[in-house]
């Protein structure tokens, strides 16, 4: 993309994401998505200086790394072939890097390769527990894309005597792998979250680390399917990372890049979350609560 070169050529001034998208020759739909994602990582690595929201300036490291020799060492194998595809940076139309390299989607691999799937599942168990103790009357929680028990079983174990209906929704291949011995209040249900939600008027709909796997178009579909069945009393709980608008850490910027490579997903800022919630019917953020000892917010 030549970002280091473009920044170095205008080293005396701040350059916006819009300027970089235009001057690099890529589609300006990159603004706020892939280009901003790349620049968030570059500034976290010290390869450029962030001067404001989606605004950047070259520093000494930018200039040092902008020469042909330095850039050559950063080129990824097959990137030229990948970028010559039609609209290679349009995440809703182009395959993810994982799909491009492996010739199948990440989800296909996870559904067939248990050696890949189970380490992911074990890491999910390390996420901070959901705290829903305020719901001490009969209620219904729908865990959308809830995998094999993680959060609902933890909830049921913590509150063994609370009368509730806990609905665990996921694809058939995942539901078929649910282990025996779950709390009897947990009801597995086969469901694809890109289709209309069958459970109407639940008290809580819960999405834990689902939306960062998908591009904006897919996320709007998931949110809209959920919003259409919510009652006035219903709440949607979203457990996701919320990126800082500026000055993000390297670890979190790295996670942002990591979600792009396997599945064209992304981490998002609060501004981006608010834009995504503008579905029909309209959703809005009531609160953003930090989860202790975690990068995630709810």
Q: Higher pLDDT residue, 27 or 273?
A: 273
Same domain, 134 and 195: yes
Catalytic, 212? Answer yes
Q: Higher pLDDT residue, 93 or 37?
A: 37
Domain assignment present for residue 32? The answer is yes
Asked whether the bond before 109 is cis by omega within 30 degrees of 0, the reply is no
Same domain, 128 and 250: yes
Domain assignment present for residue 281? The answer is yes
Same domain, 284 and 158: yes
Domain assignment present for residue 106? The answer is no
**Residue 116 pLDDT more than 50?**
no
Domain assignment present for residue 195? The answer is yes
Domain that holds residue 282: 119-297
Domain assignment present for residue 146? The answer is yes
**How many independent structural domains does the chain possess?**
2
CATH, residue 13 = 1.10.10.10
Determine contact, residues 57/51, Cβ cutoff 8 Å: yes
Same domain, 56 and 130: no
Same domain, 258 and 171: yes
Domain assignment present for residue 263? The answer is yes
Domain assignment present for residue 104? The answer is no
Same domain, 123 and 65: no
Q: What is the pTM of this model?
A: 0.63
Q: How far apart are CA 39 and CA 184, in angstroms?
A: 48
Q: How far apart are CA 58 and CA 48, in angstroms?
A: 5
Same domain, 293 and 179: yes
pLDDT in tens, 134-145: 445 678 999 999
User: One of 84, 212, 233, 256 is an active-site residue; which one?
Assistant: 212
Contacts of 58 (CB under 8 A, 6+ apart): 7, 8, 10, 11, 48, 49
Which range is least confidently modeled, 92-101, 178-187, 193-202, 214-223? 92-101
CATH, residue 250 = 3.40.50.150
Nearest to 241 by CA among 207, 194, 275, 279: 207
Domain assignment present for residue 97? The answer is no
């Amino acid at each position: 993309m030549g970002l280091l070169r473009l920044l170095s050529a205008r080293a005396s001034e701040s350059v916006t994401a819009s300027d970089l998208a235009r001057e690099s020759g890529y589609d300006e739909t990159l603004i706020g998505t892939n280009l901003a994602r790349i620049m968030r990582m570059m500034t976290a690595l010290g390869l450029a200086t962030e001067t404001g929201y989606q605004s950047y300036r070259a520093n000494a490291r930018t200039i040092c790394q902008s020469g042909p020799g330095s850039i050559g060492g950063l080129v990824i194998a097959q990137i030229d072939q990948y970028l010559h595809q039609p609209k290679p940076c349009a995440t809703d139309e182009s395959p993810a890097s994982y799909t491009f390299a492996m010739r199948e989607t990440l989800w296909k691999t996870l559904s067939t390769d248990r050696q890949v799937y189970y380490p992911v599942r074990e890491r999910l168990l390390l996420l901070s527990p959901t705290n829903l103790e305020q719901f001490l009357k009969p209620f219904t929680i729908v865990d959308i894309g809830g995998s094999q028990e993680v959060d609902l079983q933890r909830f049921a174990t913590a509150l063994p005597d609370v009368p509730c209906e806990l609905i665990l929704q996921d694809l058939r291949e995942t539901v078929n792998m649910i282990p025996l011995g779950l709390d009897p209040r947990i009801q597995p249900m086969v469901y694809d979250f890109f289709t209309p939600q069958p459970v109407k008027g639940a008290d809580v709909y819960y999405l834990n680390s689902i939306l960062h796997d998908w591009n904006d178009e897919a996320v709007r579909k998931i949110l809209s399917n959920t919003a259409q069945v919510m009652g006035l009393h219903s709440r949607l709980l979203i457990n996701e990372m919320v990126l800082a608008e500026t000055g993000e850490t390297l670890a979190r910027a790295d996670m942002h890049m990591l979600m792009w490579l396997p599945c064209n997903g992304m981490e998002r800022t609060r501004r981006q979350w608010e834009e995504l919630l503008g579905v029909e019917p309209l959703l809005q953020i009531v609160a953003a609560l930090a989860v202790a000892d975690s990068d995630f917010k709810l």
